[in-house]
Structure 1
Amino acid sequence: MRRSVHRQRAAAEGLAPAPPGPHSTASRPYDTMPAENVRRILDAALTLLETIGMRMETGTEADDLLRRAGCEVGGGVVKMPAPVVRAALDGCARSTRLWNRDGTRAIDIDKDHTWFMPGMTCIKVYDEETGEPRDSTRADLATVTRLAEGLDNIDAVCVACKDVPNSTLQGEIGEFLCMMENTTKPLEFLCEWTRSLEAAIAMASALRGGAGALRDKPYFLHIITPLPLFYAASHVEQLLLAVRAGVPVSVGTLAIGGASAPITTAGAVVQCLATDFAGMVLAQAVRPGAFCIGSTNPYFMEPATGGIGNLPQTMLGEQLICQVRRHLGLPSFTGLGGDARARRFGQDAVFEIATMMGQIYHTRPATCDYLGSLDQGITYSLHALLLCNEYAGMLRTLWAGTEVNDDTLALDLLAEIGLTGTVLGHEHTARHCRTNLWASRYFGGNEPLSTTDKPDETLYQRIDRDLKERLAMPGPAPLPADLLARLRAIHEDHATG
């Protein structure tokens, strides 16, 4: 219902339709588990919340809200009866729209689309001159954001890297303003301080022309990152603030099997879902029908080293949790995407990115985040972002499927040319030669094969050449001077007030 209302309004206002991104019409996602196991995992998550509960820092407004919703609250532990949790899952919004800076285009966040986004929150970047990692700055965030603006398969922008030299309230608020200035695409935001979220909401409201207009056309999705089975006061405050402002919310963190969650895949998934469900219960207690969706994803410890990795188990955990959310009719947010363990952009990173983004075809999350993140999310790579954009284009070519009709089956064509004829010069070939074609910038026709005249460059060299050309391009049109002045005033007011 909510989506249809949005589309009717967009048609009435003469707005441009959302860009392409559907993934469910031509082929089905892959279900790893039988339906019986999906139900068992759901039941286990509900049992965990009802009998064991979860920790939630005391002294916040959530205490009374959850008590009134039917939960047992005491001693920093909240126990949520299964009927309360099920009612929250049934009542939450299944979809929302994120609108671009101008309010003229939107992307549907739901279970039927996948959107690609860079990030998030790396604390280092690879220096453009030396290639070595260094602390990231606001200028680096501006560079990533401007680069993402020009990439066809990047649909929204997140805080890809932090302004490390200014790790203050003022610096964090400045990250939101930096993204506003350097892209026209919708945003994802996450922050440490609640006051930063207050500033982001104020800036987005100023952009839209008021709080009501922001609620009608959300500009950003806010990400809240509790620990597994624990919401600190800041997480609670941000959730209540965002939900009341009509800002779409994602709650979730990265649970680590063997460290912060059970080492078994099913056990880690249960803990992830329970953490998500708790935030969704609180959101529905604040505003029934709010869009607050879980996004916790399981990673797993490697017993041999203690490092975070174990790629097959992590991918399997991602598949399971996406299947459970899909069973509930809810969108998923991925923790994999382009987030590679490799220390720098090279053969290891290419393997990981190709493997993990290939899995996106099967799991069908609503968002594929972390594109461009290397070194276990510590260091951001512009080269990796360009490769991720490339693979996103390939996935969308696959999701488009293929049309099956008399013309594409081509029996009449074969009858016409006979068994000894050729289709090379036929009009049918000219009409369909670009059907299902992946217009790749680095592969296909742009590979340096010996049968082509392309320069004999490595993949890194091809991407690096493209990167240099893109970095030389101008960014988006600047914000109007009067609006920019208001945004900077909001920035200063919230950073010092």
Structure 2
Amino acid sequence: MGMFTDELYFKPRLQVINDDQIAQLHMATLDVLERTGIKLTHPKALELLADAGATVNGDRVKIPSWLVEDAIRKAPKRVVLGKRTGERTVTLERDKSYFGPSLDCIDYMDPVTHERTRFNSDHVETTAALCDALPGFDWCMTIGMADDVDADIADRVVARQTLQYCEKPLVFCCKDTNSVKDIHEMALLMCGGQEAFENAPCLVHYSEPISPLVYYDPAVDKILFCAEKKIPLINFPAPQACGSAPATFAGILVQASAESLSGLVIHQLARPGAPFIYGAFTTIMDMRTSIFSYGAPELSLMTAALAQMAQHYRLPFFGTAGATDAKFCDAQAGAEAAFQCLSAAAAGSGLVHDCSSWMDHGNLVSPEFMVLVNDIVTSVQHYMKGIPITRETLALDVIHKVGPGGHYLQEKHTMDHFREIKYSDLFERDIYEKWKGKGEKRMEQRLQELTIEKMKHRPAPLDQKVIQELDRMQAAWK
């Protein structure tokens, strides 16, 4: 028995580019920033960049390679997020993956009637609480746009309701720095102040440069504010091959990386060591339809490559998976989501968004799709545990005891380990006659029933004094 070690563990791993290709992509990224540069008009950011050694000529800024690499060195290699209760639940580092939903959809698919309507504030509560209920999702987002709320305050109302009805860390998008300030103030109220927030941030702000290589002033304002307040920041362009980025996969990766890293430079000049998350939504323009595809296999391929770039830089990463171009929870939706989620986990895609609600190329939220993708994600997470090899799991003693022709049903070893198998509340494995006896429910019916049941969940309520203070804040928003 001396030949066996105590434990051997291997995590399944996907690599889509090798070390030489990573080096080439990095050098090309530096070339873009140094030779082409970015378009930027924000006075404070221009001053920071010029003082640091960038070349500023009007609204064109060229960033030297040493300044980019200095920002990469200064940025934290690890970002920890927490629930509104202060519990630290998400540790972004290396190739760890944590799954969550999407943001800012405009339509909602009712799981009872399957009627498609505009997303409204009632749907915020529904989807936030559902995200809280689903164990496959480690964090939440501001999932929809709240069409029934005044546009000037809708982003804050959505964030307030999501924080109230989901305990998990929140990634949010908003229109300007005033909104970031108000949402940050709500988070501080819930978690107990700035010190508690910095120990386990319950907020992450999502910001976007405009492809190709443009920053508009409100986005830069938010980058600087997040750096000042140590709100973790995702700087996440969305370059589209053949449209706002080159048609070649390597070209779009270079531009995407340059766009994300240029924001890192500004961010770290404002406050060295402030938490930053790298990434990009890299997909294609479907030349037959002109849509920005959320289900294309190229999306997963390029996301996996960027995840490897993030691991090379030792920067936390914001990835994409679990989305679909389908309009309903059909075979297309399931196939696209499953392919993406397994690819993301195997590549180590960090904070993986879109894993539940981005349908119809980013327009539609469906609670049923959230429940379907949750089951896919939990299967992927189960798969990613790999096969631990220990004295116990090798099972030599029980194999010897049962011997040829026996069975394992009554063995203690079986009782100790059978719960390690993943069982689904959605996918059925009955024999045909038993399935008929249970009502002959097809996948769509089982999904609808499970979704309606999961939608009954609500998290532990906030203290009434906290709710009253949130009401006071909301009444003051303009």
2:187–2:202 contact (8 Å) kept in structure 1: yes
Q: CA deviation at 1:167?
A: 5.0
Q: CA deviation at 1:348?
A: 1.6
Range that drifts further, 450-459 or 461-470? 450-459
Kindly tell me: are residues 94 and 450 of structure 1, through their superposed partners in 2, closer, same or farther at Cα, counting changes over 3 Å? farther
Distance in 2 (alpha carbons) for counterparts of 1:206 and 1:107: 21
Partner residue, 1:54 = 38
Partner residue, 1:311 = 296
Per the normalisation by structure 2, the TM-score is 0.93
Is 1:411 the counterpart of 2:396? The answer is yes
Question: Could you say what secondary structure the match of 1:68 adopts?
Answer: helix
Distance in 1 (alpha carbons) for counterparts of 2:87 and 2:298: 41
Of residues 368, 372, 376 in structure 2, which corresponds to 1:383? 368
- 1:178-220 CA distance string (max 9 Å, x none): 1121111111111112211110111112223333332333111
Q: CA deviation at 1:131?
A: 1.2
Of residues 150, 154, 157 in structure 2, which corresponds to 1:174? 157
Q: CA deviation at 1:454?
A: 4.3
2:236–2:260 contact (8 Å) kept in structure 1: yes
Partner residue, 1:19 = none
Kindly tell me: are residues 248 and 482 of structure 1, through their superposed partners in 2, closer, same or farther at Cα, counting changes over 3 Å? same
Q: CA deviation at 1:59?
A: 3.9
Kindly tell me: are residues 83 and 281 of structure 1, through their superposed partners in 2, closer, same or farther at Cα, counting changes over 3 Å? same
Is 1:420 the counterpart of 2:405? The answer is yes
Question: Could you say what secondary structure the match of 2:282 adopts?
Answer: strand
Which letter does structure 2 place at the counterpart of 1:372?
A: S
**Which 5+ residue runs of structure 1 have no aligned equivalent?**
1-24
- 1:62-106 CA distance string (max 9 Å, x none): 011111221112221111000000111111011122111111343
Distance in 1 (alpha carbons) for counterparts of 2:466 and 2:297: 48
Partner residue, 2:352 = 368
Partner residue, 1:120 = 103
1:334–1:369 contact (8 Å) kept in structure 2: yes
Q: CA deviation at 1:416?
A: 2.8
Question: Could you say what secondary structure the match of 2:227 adopts?
Answer: helix
Question: Could you say what secondary structure the match of 1:120 adopts?
Answer: coil
2:95–2:347 contact (8 Å) kept in structure 1: no
Partner residue, 2:29 = 45
Which letter does structure 1 place at the counterpart of 2:383?
A: L
Q: CA deviation at 1:128?
A: 4.1
Kindly tell me: are residues 454 and 355 of structure 1, through their superposed partners in 2, closer, same or farther at Cα, counting changes over 3 Å? farther
Question: Could you say what secondary structure the match of 1:254 adopts?
Answer: coil
Question: Could you say what secondary structure the match of 1:290 adopts?
Answer: coil
Alignment of 1:1-400 (within 5 A): 26-56=10-40, 58-228=41-211, 229-309=213-293, 311-335=296-320, 337-370=321-354, 371-400=356-385
Kindly tell me: are residues 425 and 215 of structure 1, through their superposed partners in 2, closer, same or farther at Cα, counting changes over 3 Å? closer
Q: CA deviation at 1:490?
A: 2.2
2:111–2:448 contact (8 Å) kept in structure 1: no
Distance in 2 (alpha carbons) for counterparts of 1:263 and 1:448: 49
Q: CA deviation at 1:407?
A: 3.0
**Which 5+ residue runs of structure 2 have no aligned equivalent?**
1-8
Question: Could you say what secondary structure the match of 2:148 adopts?
Answer: helix
Which letter does structure 1 place at the counterpart of 2:154?
A: G
Which letter does structure 2 place at the counterpart of 1:468?
A: I
Q: CA deviation at 1:251?
A: 0.5
Q: CA deviation at 1:387?
A: 0.9
Q: CA deviation at 1:321?
A: 1.1
Question: Share of identical aligned residues, percent?
Answer: 24
- 1:193-251 CA distance string (max 9 Å, x none): 22111101111122233333323331111110121211100110001111111110100
Distance in 2 (alpha carbons) for counterparts of 1:219 and 1:416: 52
Which letter does structure 1 place at the counterpart of 2:330?
A: G
Q: CA deviation at 1:129?
A: 4.5
1:137–1:164 contact (8 Å) kept in structure 2: yes
Range that drifts further, 411-420 or 146-155? 411-420
Q: Give the total of aligned pairs.
A: 466
Q: CA deviation at 1:27?
A: 1.1
Partner residue, 1:4 = none
Distance in 2 (alpha carbons) for counterparts of 1:192 and 1:406: 56
1:94–1:110 contact (8 Å) kept in structure 2: yes
Distance in 2 (alpha carbons) for counterparts of 1:380 and 1:482: 32
RMSD (Å) for aligned C-alpha atoms: 1.9
Q: CA deviation at 1:286?
A: 0.8
Q: CA deviation at 1:477?
A: 2.6
Q: CA deviation at 1:403?
A: 2.5
Kindly tell me: are residues 70 and 209 of structure 1, through their superposed partners in 2, closer, same or farther at Cα, counting changes over 3 Å? same
Range that drifts further, 205-214 or 384-393? 205-214
User: After the TM superposition, which parts of structure 1 deviate over 6 Å for at least 4 consecutive aligned residues?
Assistant: none
1:169–1:193 contact (8 Å) kept in structure 2: no
Kindly tell me: are residues 167 and 376 of structure 1, through their superposed partners in 2, closer, same or farther at Cα, counting changes over 3 Å? farther
